[in-house]
Amino acid sequence: MIGRDQMSASEISQIDLTQGMLFPAQSITSMCQEAQHVVDDLDSEVSEDIAHVLNSSKKLANLISDHISTIENTDTPSGLDTRTIRHDMKNPLNVVLGCSKLIIDDLPLDDSIRQIFLQVVEIANDLQNQIELLIVDEPDNKNFDGAATSGDIENLLSSVDQFKFELSEIDRISGKKILIVDDDKINRSIFSRRLEQRGLEVFQRANGVEALEFVNSQSVDLILLDLLMPGMNGIEVLEKIKLVDGYANIPILIVSGLDDPRSIVMCLRRGATDYLSKPVELSVLEIKIASALEKNILQSNLEQMALYDQLTGLFNRHSILSALEEFESAYYEDGTDFGILTIDIDNFKKINDTYGHDIGDQALQHLSKVVVQVIRGQDLFGRLGGEEFIIGSNHISFPDFIDVSERVRKAVETNNMALQEEILPFTVSGGIYHSTTGFSSMAEALKTSDQNLYNAKNRGRNRVEID
C-alpha cells in the first residue's frame, strides 16, 4: 500500500500514477459504457446521469494522463501547481460521485445498473484517496507525521452516509429556500436534485453577478457558494452578499475544491457559516445545511422572543418603551409632537372567570388585530402587560390624536369577538397624553396617560380621557 508518509513527490513513479489513478478512471468509463448498453429508457434521468459520469470519468482520465506526461517531462511540480491539479481533478470526480449516488438513489435495490454504480462509487472513493496520496507537494508542504490521511477522513465520511439522515423529516426545515451558486452546471444540479428530494426549494445561479442580482430581488434561507468561479470569486461574492439588506445573518456554506486552509479561514473570517470540500459527500451536505438552518431558526426565535410579545405578536413592554424613547429624542431635536394612548380592557377578569383563560387570551389577540386596523403603519403599538396596551403616534396634532384614540375605543366596542355559539362584546378605557400639554420626560408622559386611564375607569369605563 502506498502511503504519503512513505513517499515524496520525486519518488512517485508513472507506474504508481497509472495503476493508482489512470486505470481506475478508465474502468469507470468502461463501466458507464456497459451501463449505457443495459439501460432501456434513453431519455430517463438515470440515463442522463450515466452520461454525466461517463464524460467526467473521461475528463478525469485525460487530466491524469496529462499529469503523468508532465511528471515525465519536468521536475516535480510546485506547491501551487499541485493544488491546482488536485482541484481540477476534484471537479469531475465530484460529478462522478454525485451523479452515481443519484443513480443509486433512483433505482430499486436489485437493479443491475444500481449494482454497477455501487462499484463506481467504491472505485471513485478510492481514486479520491489516491489523488491525495499521489499528487503531493514537495517536503516543505508535506503533512506532518501522524496527521489524519484523506483515507481516514473518507472512512469517517462514509460512515456518515450510513446514518440515514432525512431533511424532510424536520418540518421546520422543509420548504426553506436554498440558493446554489456554482459555475459548474452539473454540480449545481447534483446538489439541487438531492436537496429538492429532501423538500427544500432550490434556486441556482452560475456566477457572482447573477447571485447578487438574485439576492437583491428576493430572500433565501441559506446560500451554498462555490469558492472558485470565473469572474468574481466566492470570497468577493460572500462579502457583497453580507452587505445586502436582510442577508447579514443568512447562513452561507462555502464549497471549496482547494486544499487551501487559508482561503477557508478567509471565508470563515468574512462570515461564512461553514465549508464543504469537493468532492462533496451529499449526506454531509444535508447535515451541514440542516444544522445551519436549525441554528438560524433558533437564533431568530430568540430575537423574536426578546422583542415581541408571544401571545399577540406585538412589541413587548421592553421594546415598546425603548421605541417610545425615540419620540423623546425627536421631540428634543426638532419639536416633533407626539401622543400616547394607554388602553386597558374593561372588566377583563370577568371574561376570564366566565369563559376561561383561553378565551381571555383570544380576546387579547382579537383586540390587537382590531387596533392594528385603525392606526397608521408608522404608529407604535405594544403590550405593556396583562390586558394593558400602549399606542404611540408622532407628527400628530392634539385634536388628531384625540380622534385616533376615540377611533381605537370605538373599534374595540363595535368589532365583537365571535365565539362558537355567541359573540363576546368587550370594551376598553383609555388615557391620553399629548406633548403639547407640556413635556418633561417620557416617564412623566406615561404617568399622565396612566392617570387619565384611571380617570376613565372611574368615570364609567368604555371612554378615553384627557385630563
CA distance 242 to 231: 19
Which partner from the list Mg ion, ligand GH3, none does 360 bind, CB cut-off 5 to 8 Å by kind? ligand GH3
The one among 58, 317, 410, 457 contacting ligand GH3 by CB under 6 A: 457
Annotate 150-184 with DSSP letters as a single string. HHHHHHHHHHHHHS---GGG-TTTTT-EEEEE-S-
The one among 172, 185, 349, 395 contacting ligand GH3 by CB under 6 A: 349
Q: What DSSP element (H or E) covers 186?
A: helix 185-197
**Which CB, 8 or 362, lies closer to ligand GH3?**
362
**Which CB, 385 or 399, lies closer to ligand GH3?**
385
**387: annotated active-site residue:** yes
Binding mask 330-369 for Mg ion (x = CB under 5 A): --------------xx--x---------------------
Query: Cβ 298 to Mg ion, closest distance in Å?
Result: 34
User: Which residues between 280 and 319 bind ligand GH3 (CB under 6 A)?
Assistant: 311
| 450 contacts ligand GH3 (rule: CB under 6 A) | no
**Which CB, 75 or 358, lies closer to ligand GH3?**
358
Could you say which DSSP state residue 4 is in? Answer: G
Which partner from the list ligand GH3, Mg ion, none does 457 bind, CB cut-off 5 to 8 Å by kind? ligand GH3
CA distance 119 to 112: 11
Q: How many residues does the chain have?
A: 467
CA distance 182 to 205: 7
Is residue 370 within 8 A of residue 414, CB to CB? The reply is no
Annotate 89-128 with DSSP letters as a single string. HHHHHHHHHHHHHHHHHHS-TT-HHHHHHHHHHHHHHHHH
**CA angle in degrees (0–180, nearest 5) for 406-410-415:** 150
**Which CB, 327 or 348, lies closer to ligand GH3?**
348
The one among 348, 381, 401, 426 contacting ligand GH3 by CB under 6 A: 348
User: Which residues between 386 and 405 bind Mg ion (CB under 5 A)?
Assistant: 387
For residue 133, give every residue at least 6 positions away whose Cβ sits within 8 Å of its Cβ, in sequence order, or none.
Answer: 2, 3, 4, 7, 20, 149, 150, 151
Burial class of 429 by CB neighbour count within 10 A (0 to 12, 13 to 18, 19+): buried
Query: Cβ 184 to ligand GH3, closest distance in Å?
Result: 55
Neighbours of 70 (CB within 10 A): 13
| 465 contacts ligand GH3 (rule: CB under 6 A) | no
Between helix 234-243 and helix 208-217 the angle, nearest 10°, is 20
Residue type (1 letter), 136: V
Identify which of 47, 224, 11, 316 has the alpha carbon closest to the alpha carbon of residue 133.
11
Which partner from the list Mg ion, ligand GH3, none does 166 bind, CB cut-off 5 to 8 Å by kind? none
**Which CB, 203 or 454, lies closer to ligand GH3?**
454
The one among 77, 151, 234, 360 contacting ligand GH3 by CB under 6 A: 360
| 357 contacts ligand GH3 (rule: CB under 6 A) | yes
**Which CB, 337 or 344, lies closer to Mg ion?**
344
| 352 contacts ligand GH3 (rule: CB under 6 A) | yes
**Which CB, 259 or 387, lies closer to Mg ion?**
387
Distance of CA 37 to the CA centre of its chain: 42
| 49 contacts Mg ion (rule: CB under 5 A) | no
Which partner from the list Mg ion, ligand GH3, none does 352 bind, CB cut-off 5 to 8 Å by kind? ligand GH3
Binding mask 170-199 for Mg ion (x = CB under 5 A): ------------------------------
**Which CB, 143 or 365, lies closer to ligand GH3?**
365
Cell of 419: 365565539
Query: Cβ 322 to ligand GH3, closest distance in Å?
Result: 22
The catalytic residue among 201, 236, 326, 387 is: 387
Burial track 16-41 (b if 16+ CB lie within 10 A, e otherwise): bbeebbbebbbbbbebbeebeeeeee
Neighbours of 59 (CB within 10 A): 19
Which partner from the list ligand GH3, Mg ion, none does 240 bind, CB cut-off 5 to 8 Å by kind? none
Burial track 449-462 (b if 16+ CB lie within 10 A, e otherwise): bbebbebbbeeeeb
The one among 238, 345, 408, 464 contacting ligand GH3 by CB under 6 A: 345
Tell me the number of residues near ligand GH3 by CB under 6 A: 16
Binding mask 384-413 for ligand GH3 (x = CB under 6 A): --xx--------------------------
Residues with a catalytic annotation lie at 387
For ligand GH3, the binding residues (CB under 6 A) are 311, 344-349, 352, 357, 360-361, 364, 386-387, 457, 461
